[in-house]
Amino acid sequence: MLVVVGAGPRGTGLLERIAANADLVPGEGCEIHVVDPHPPGAGRVWRPLQSPLLLMNSRAGEVTMFTDDSVRCAGPIRPGPTLAEWGPHYDGRDPGLAREAAALTPDSFASRRLAGAYLGWCFDRAVRSLPPRVRVTVHSAAAVALSDGDRQTLTLSTGRRLQADVVVLAQGNPGGHRTAEQEAHQAFATRTGGTYLPPACPGDEDLDRLPPGEAVLVSGLGLAFVDLAILLTEGRGGRFIRHRDGTLAYRPSGREPVLHAGSRRGVPYLPKPVLPELRDPEPRFFTAASAKHSSPRELVAAACRELLWAHYRELFAAHPERTRMDAAEFERAFARLPVTDPALVALVADAVPDPADRADLSFLRSPLAGLTFPGQAALGTWMHDRISRTVARATDPRHSAHAAVLHGLTAVGGVLENLLAEPETRAAATRVAARVAGFAPFLGSGPPPHRLEQLRALAKAGVLRFLGADLRITQDEVFVAHTSSLPHPVGARHLVEARLRDPDARSGVDPLLAGLSPARARVPVDPGTFQVLVEGRPHPRRLAMGLFAGGGALGSFSRPHRNAPFFRQNDATARWLLTELAGVASQTRTGTPVMAH
Encode pLDDT of 445-476 as tens digits.
899 999 999 999 999 999 999 999 999 999 99
Identify the band that residue 182 occupies on the pLDDT scale cut at 50, 70 and 90. very high
- Name the residue among 224, 220, 216, 226 with its Cα closest to residue 195: 216
Region 79-88: mean pLDDT is: 97
Asked whether the predicted pLDDT for residue 593 surpasses 70, the reply is no
Q: Residue 236: helix, strand or coil by DSSP?
A: helix
Asked whether the predicted pLDDT for residue 67 surpasses 90, the reply is yes
Region 106-131: mean pLDDT is: 97
Say what the pLDDT of residue 449 is.
95
Identify the band that residue 277 occupies on the pLDDT scale cut at 50, 70 and 90. low
Phi-psi region of 172 (alpha: psi -120 to 50; beta: other; left: phi over 0): left
Say what the pLDDT of residue 310 is.
93
Tell me if 380 sits within 8 A of 466, measured CB to CB. Answer: yes
Within 8 A by CB and 6+ apart from 301, the residues are 338, 339, 340
Q: Residue 485: helix, strand or coil by DSSP?
A: coil
Tell me if 375 sits within 8 A of 419, measured CB to CB. Answer: no
Identify the band that residue 552 occupies on the pLDDT scale cut at 50, 70 and 90. low
Say what the pLDDT of residue 127 is.
98
Q: Report how far residue 463's alpha carbon sits from residue 260's, in angstroms, rounded to the nearest whole number.
A: 9
Region 120-131: mean pLDDT is: 98
Label residue 488 exposed, middle or buried (CB < 10 Å: 0-12, 13-18, 19+).
exposed
Identify the band that residue 555 occupies on the pLDDT scale cut at 50, 70 and 90. low
Q: Report how far residue 13's alpha carbon sits from residue 15's, in angstroms, rounded to the nearest whole number.
A: 5
Say what the pLDDT of residue 74 is.
98
Q: Residue 417: helix, strand or coil by DSSP?
A: helix
> In order of start, what are the domains of the chain with their CATH numbers?
2-175+503-590 (3.50.50.60), 196-268+460-497 (3.50.50), 288-379+394-444 (no CATH)
Q: Residue 155: helix, strand or coil by DSSP?
A: strand
Sign of the CA dihedral running 351, 355, 361, 362: positive
Asked whether the predicted pLDDT for residue 280 surpasses 80, the reply is no
Q: Report how far residue 404's alpha carbon sits from residue 456's, in angstroms, rounded to the nearest whole number.
A: 24
Q: Report how far residue 449's alpha carbon sits from residue 174's, in angstroms, rounded to the nearest whole number.
A: 30
Tell me if 51 sits within 8 A of 235, measured CB to CB. Answer: yes
Across the chain, mean pLDDT equals: 91
Identify the band that residue 298 occupies on the pLDDT scale cut at 50, 70 and 90. confident
Neighbour count for residue 568 (Cβ, 10 Å): 21
Q: What b/e readout covers 122-141, taking b as 16+ CB neighbours within 10 angstroms? A: bbebbbeebeeebebebbee
Q: Report how far residue 15's alpha carbon sits from residue 122's, in angstroms, rounded to the nearest whole number.
A: 10
Within 8 A by CB and 6+ apart from 493, the residues are 189, 192, 193, 194, 195, 214, 215, 478, 479
Over its C-alpha atoms, the chain yields an Rg (Å, rounded) of 25
Q: Lowest-pLDDT range, 175-189, 200-214, 290-304, 568-582? A: 290-304
Q: Lowest-pLDDT range, 38-42, 127-131, 515-519? A: 515-519
Per-position DSSP letters for 332-377, written without gaps between them: HHHHHS-TT-HHHHHHHHHH---GGGS--HHHHH-TTTT---SSHH
Say what the pLDDT of residue 551 is.
60
Asked whether the predicted pLDDT for residue 274 surpasses 90, the reply is no
Q: Report how far residue 530's alpha carbon sits from residue 552's, in angstroms, rounded to the nearest whole number.
A: 9
Identify the band that residue 597 occupies on the pLDDT scale cut at 50, 70 and 90. very low
Neighbour count for residue 238 (Cβ, 10 Å): 20
| 204-256 residue pLDDT tens | 999 999 999 999 999 999 999 999 999 999 999 999 999 999 999 999 999 99
* Kind plus residue range of the DSSP H or E element containing 25: none
Q: Report how far residue 69's alpha carbon sits from residue 73's, in angstroms, rounded to the nearest whole number.
A: 10
State the chain's maximal CA–CA distance in angstroms. 81
Pick the more confident residue, 432 or 394: 394
Q: Report how far residue 240's alpha carbon sits from residue 433's, in angstroms, rounded to the nearest whole number.
A: 38
Within 8 A by CB and 6+ apart from 551, the residues are 525, 526, 527, 530, 544, 545
